[in-house]
Chain A
Amino acid sequence: MSPIVKRKGEKFTLPSKWLLFILTIICSALMLFTFTTDFFDKPLGTIVGYALVPFEKGIGKAGGWFSNRKDEFTQIKSLIKENQSLKEEVARLTEENTLLQQDKYELNKLRQLFELDEQYEEYHKVGARIISRDSGNWYSAFVIDKGTDDGILKDMNVIAGGGLVGRISAVGPNWARVTAIISDNANVSGMTLATEDNLIVSGSLKGMNEGVIYFSKLVDSKSAVKAGDKIVTSDISDKFLPGILIGYVLTVEPDNNNLTKSGTMIPAVDFEHLSEVLVITDQKQIIEE
């Protein structure tokens, strides 16, 4: 079936080899373009945004209703138990709170003394609902129902329940993709809160299945970092705002080079039961070179 020899009245069809060739060229060109520029992201994002996001929002609402009913039935028992332990915790926390407030007065006084700027001021946040998840089984990413129309930009940080979830990695007019910190293609520069040692938190598929995140390149010559220590985003990260809780150290082990340490940590966010997230609309200050 050659394209040149064509009988009269026969419908013209492109030979499949040629179509394959053309599509391969198109895809390769697209890959090259999108790898180096973000020229195609915007029009494509707009089209799929208007074609699919309304459906996904509806499904998300219906699905949320169903899973809420399911949860209600399964959780009543555990809720009663939890309520009791929470009451005890409230009592304990009230006591702790009074102590902390005393500390806060002292801290404020000291800050004034050192004339330090308020480092961990309140960030501005926007709430968003998760409407779709990456089902490719390789990475952990999801789509939220807010986009550039709501003032969301690429690289903004996303939090939930007080912990870091990830950052915006693609954005359309009414949707945005969040790449989670547990995803295999995510790295976050973090530090331990107590000792301020820098480390790299790397998401991985293996860790995701075990419910932990791996960290590495921790320089801790005094062996001061131990299990239970808080890890927050570091001051030197170029995409993440400083001081957002990432998780808690689980294990620490020295590397083969005996200079750095690595280990596992438990994320502060329950990634399996996320439905709403907060997007921080403040962005890290970028120094143009």
Chain B
Amino acid sequence: MLSFLFTGALILILFLLQTAVFPVLLPLRVLPNLLIILTASKGFMKGENAGMAVGFICGLLYDAFFGEVIGFYALLYTYVGFINGKFSRVFYPEDIKLPLALITVSDLTFGLTAYVFLFLIFGKLDFPYYFIHVILPETVVTMVATLAFYPIILKINEYLHKRQRKREY
């Protein structure tokens, strides 16, 4: 129950940071994708189901405000959660290299998929331009944001895990 509350609050805070705080405070043209950091982290920390659930909610929230159709980003984030969940078997909390690599690859794939379904199918073929000006910068700033946000998500996860263990014994 507490775990649900914490995750819900985390989604809300990251969404607000991404859409309301960062655009005002950061002088960047391309903003980091915090929701993908959370979705991917939940995936490889808690497994496929948790990753998918968090991804679905994050995507739905984003769709409700900014989506052209509701369900597109929800589906994308759900798959991100699922695929990252596959790596929960090889995940060790001490190692930051795997999470960093997973989140980077997730964001890159996310950007490429978004390009294909939002731009390529409308005949906007200038892929190098979009790749250099949107997809790549977003991946880089998301990597930087990962270094800042991932430890926080990890700490919260460890705390919840400990509490759960205590209650079980």
CA distance A44 to B56 in the complex (A): 14
CA distance A154 to B121 in the complex (A): 26
| Residues A30 and B29 in contact, CB atoms below 8 Å apart | no
| Residues B134 and A205 in contact, CB atoms below 8 Å apart | yes
Range class of the B interface residue count: 35 or more
- A window 119-141: CB within 8 A of B: 131-139, 141
Residues of A within 8 A of B20 (CB): 55-56, 59-60, 63, 131-133
- Name the residue in A41, A51, A59, A64 with the highest tally of chain B Cβ atoms < 10 Å from its Cβ: A59
- B68: Cβ under 8 A from any A Cβ: yes
- A102: Cβ under 8 A from any B Cβ: no
Considering only CB atoms and an 8 Å cut-off, how many residues of chain A contact the other chain? Answer: 51
CA distance A139 to B124 in the complex (A): 14
| Residues A40 and B70 in contact, CB atoms below 8 Å apart | yes
| Residues A28 and B68 in contact, CB atoms below 8 Å apart | no
List 27 A-B pairs, Cβ < 8 Å: A14-B49, A19-B53, A20-B82, A23-B74, A24-B78, A27-B56, A28-B75, A30-B74, A34-B69, A52-B61, A55-B20, A59-B20, A66-B25, A67-B24, A131-B20, A132-B20, A132-B65, A133-B20, A134-B65, A134-B66, A135-B22, A136-B73, A136-B114, A137-B30, A138-B115, A205-B130, A206-B126
| Residues B52 and A20 in contact, CB atoms below 8 Å apart | yes
Using a CB–CB cutoff of 8 Å, the interface residues on chain B facing chain A are 12, 15-16, 18-25, 29-31, 33, 47-49, 52-53, 56, 59-62, 64-66, 68-75, 78-79, 82, 85, 114-115, 118-119, 124, 126, 129-130, 133-134, 137-138
Residues of B within 8 A of A141 (CB): 66
CA distance A12 to B134 in the complex (A): 43
| Distance in Å: Cβ of B91 to nearest Cβ of chain A | 15
Residues of A within 8 A of B18 (CB): 135
